[in-house]
Chains A and B, each alone.
Chain A
Amino acid sequence: EVQLVESGGSLVQPGGSLKLSCVASGYTFSNYWMDWVRQTPGKSLEWIGEINTDGSKTNYAPSIKDRFTISRDNAKSTLYLQMSNVKSDDTAIYYCTSLGGDYWGQGVMVTVSS
């Protein structure tokens, strides 16, 4: 059974940093691109970015503006999202997705507030 489990969400102050993790199981993690998507309370989904199979290529949404970094460790079947200089607008549920959007994690809440 394919599972994606995010962790690392918390309350963080504006300007702070946070690193989210997504552990994959039930399939060959290293064979698939991975994405991060977020959803603000009551609002739409926003694509954050993606990473290729070996971690050598990443693409980001223009709105992220170099504040977030996606990486992966195939040996650990783990995807990461490093968030820096966070703002109140970054408050959202963060999801990792795989296999072309067919599988999603349960989501992790990030709250940016002083």
Chain B
Amino acid sequence: DIQMTQSPSLLSASVGDRVTLSCKASQSIYNSLTWYQQKLGEAPKLLIYDANSLQTGIPSRFSGSGSGTDYTLTISNLQPEDVATYFCQKYYSGSTFGSGTKLEIK
């Protein structure tokens, strides 16, 4: 099974910062990666699909990049409403979620 490892598990940053969240696969997943944002008490919300495609309606401060085994979600100009837990999900050869990164505002 392909394992997905997210880091860090907890990230604290200031409003206006640029933050980078990492997601690593145990083998290549060929850009078959989705990023979700989950706020407390809500269902996950799709942000990025196919590793780097921004979902319609998602602010352009969110971006995804990477290839092979290493992927990144970048949030530029961090806003208070971005406080959430972020999950990556691979959908190559079955589906698996990462353990999440909890993003807080300092």
Chain A contact residues, CB within 8 Å of chain B: 35, 37, 44-47, 50, 59, 61-62, 95, 100-102, 104-107
Contacts and interface: CB of A to CB of B under 8 A. Distances in A.
B97 A47 contact: yes
B95 A50 contact: yes
13 contacts: A45-B36, A45-B44, A45-B87, A45-B97, A47-B89, A47-B94, A47-B97, A62-B1, A95-B43, A101-B36, A101-B89, A104-B43, A104-B44
Nearest to A100: B49
A37 B89 CA distance: 11
Give the bracket for the number of chain B residues in contact with chain A.
10 to 19
Contacts, number: 44
Contacts of B98: 44
Interface string B59-86: 0000000000000000000000000000
Contacts of A35: 95
